[in-house]
Structure 1
Amino acid sequence: MLIIYSSFADINSKRDTYQKYLEDLAETYKIAQPKDLKNAVGGIGSLQPFYLAYQGLNDRELQQTYGIMIARIMASCYPEWSQSINLPELKAHEKIRVGFVSRFFYRHSNWKIPIQGWVENLDRSEFELFGYYTEAKRDQETVKAAKIFDKFTQGPLLLKQWVEIIQQDKLHVLIFPEFGMDPMTVNLGCLRLASIQMTSWGHPDTSGLPTIDYYLSSDFMEPENAQEHYTEKLVKLPNLSIYYTPLAIQPQALNKQKIGIENDEIMF
């Protein structure tokens, strides 16, 4: 996938080519030997169809082909982590356990929008929150995030370690705020680690994964036929679907000369 195309015709041509090769690849893995499937696991998530979301077209069919393929590969190698999970019984006065898997628990757009606002404003008398941070990077936002969650685990860890940690927490709901930018998140998303699994518009495209049940989107952003774009059941949260707190930045007076532009020059 290119970043910029010369025309809409060029986009459609490249998508047709991508679809053909993707379908051929998916058919190949349907009849692949166990050793070939095992070798394929290492490549899942290493190169993702990130730029599809920026072409302004319906990606459901392409993403579903991709998602079913990689989920099947993972299930063939990890059948014990690919079975449906019964929803844990919620006892009297017990909180709903919600987990978030992300590579972006630091100063990043996915943390600012939507993760931070959600986890800071969920009713803690009703919800117990678990954060699974797949990246080693730390900054002040990481420190803040670690304090918000009831339990916060930071990696990097191996797939098996993440699975064991998440399974021990016996979640009711597991949320992947994005698919498309982190290999480990995609690997985990191919598995069944909670009875209810969701994604959202941290990267604005359907996952295509049969293991993801719901897509959390915005009532303001979706057209009437929006469900046609998603393999997941679409949930349109009110307004923009997020809670955003603007950064505390003091405005400063600025003129052209301070940035090296003459007064009679045009500035964009």
Structure 2
Amino acid sequence: MDLGRYGLREILDAAFIDYATNKPFMYMDYANAATNEWTADVTYATGGSGAPRRISFFGNKQSTLTFETQIFSMKHLAMIAGRDIESATQNIFKREVLTVKDVSGTKTITLEKTPLNLTSLTVLKFENGVATEEVTATTINTKDVELSGTNVNVGDEVEVFYQCTTATEAHKLSFTAKDFPRYVKIIGNTQFADEVAGELVSAQLIYYKARLQPNFTLNLSPTGDPTSISMVFDIFPQKVNGVDTLADLIIYND
């Protein structure tokens, strides 16, 4: 193919590959933006009247690749956490507001789920939208919980906090104090527009060694734009044909 004059207004679809095993583990073709920034230090030798610059010296070349995405998966968060996702049944914390009813002469509430045990269960009187004194729970019969004491009556509302086990497999990701993102290889695909030929040209960017910065923010709000996760990767050199290479750009006809 002949080289041309290009314009770029397209996202970078990226494959993420485990650096240690060279196995792909995630493909992202739904990011909102991708930005590749390059920087280097410049210092100068000066001399003579007025101290003009005589020679420039370059060093400390650096690159970052940043993805902004409003769509994310647990694998995105696992990359940030530097941990694997655990799949198994899990204990979940729940809260309900219920009305005390009479079941065979016993003050009873019926929960949505079966609580783990009495230890994980707290029942509070709920008056005018405010939790007040604690109510004693005596027995658990599946989802039914029997109450005792003179401080609660049939027809009263109570606020209940408890733990239950998920009925099916759940997925857990732990953010620990000692785990950080691992090294990855990133291969990104995009398209350049050829001004003269009037057609699109395929382009592939290869980042041989990258590591996600561990900083991120999740905004949880019912108003405004959806939360956007910023994933900033530091790019490191890798020997390619004997040369320390930060990235390769390949353009080709697909």
Q: Shorter-chain-normalised TM-score: which range? A: under 0.3
**What is the TM-score with the length of structure 1 in the denominator?**
0.18
**What is the TM-score with the length of structure 2 in the denominator?**
0.18
Higher relative contact order (CA 8 A, sep 6+): 2
- Structure with more of its chain in helix, by fraction: 1
The higher radius of gyration belongs to 2
- Structure with more of its chain in strand, by fraction: 2
